[in-house]
Amino acid sequence: MTDSQTKQCPVCAEQIQVQSLVCRFCGVDYQSGSVGSPQATTNGLAIASLVLGIVWIYWIGSVLAVIFGGVAIKQINASNGQQGGKGLAIAGLVLGLVGVTTFVLFVPVLASW
């Protein structure tokens, strides 16, 4: 793309196409002048927490799901809307807690056999 086909966004200073009506980086609408919010990304630890909560891998995954879920919730809350996936983190945390609870309840039963 040549320089004559791009312009600099006045809000975020990224290079965008001259024909653009909305900046894909910051969401500014050139027709109305309003600034939209950039799209939130999903927190990676939230996804990992959910996957480990489902898979559990001999209960090690359950412990990691609890840890990752807790850290992900903290990161999402601190991101001021820049990150999403709080529901995934909560689901992973709950599944991890179910797995850990199951482990704690069944280890004495298995040990007594």
Taking only the tens place, the pLDDT of each residue in 33-59 is 666 555 679 999 999 999 999 998 888
**Of 21-25, 45-49, 54-58, 100-104, the least confident:** 21-25
What's the Rg (C-alpha) of the chain?
22
Q: Is the pLDDT reported for residue 11 higher than 80?
A: no
pTM: 0.66
pLDDT in tens, 63-95: 999 999 999 999 999 988 889 999 999 999 999
Q: Which two tokens stand for residue 74?
A: 């903290």
- Mode of pairing for the β-strands spanning 15-17 and 6-8: antiparallel
Phi, psi of 9 (to 5 degrees): -65, 130
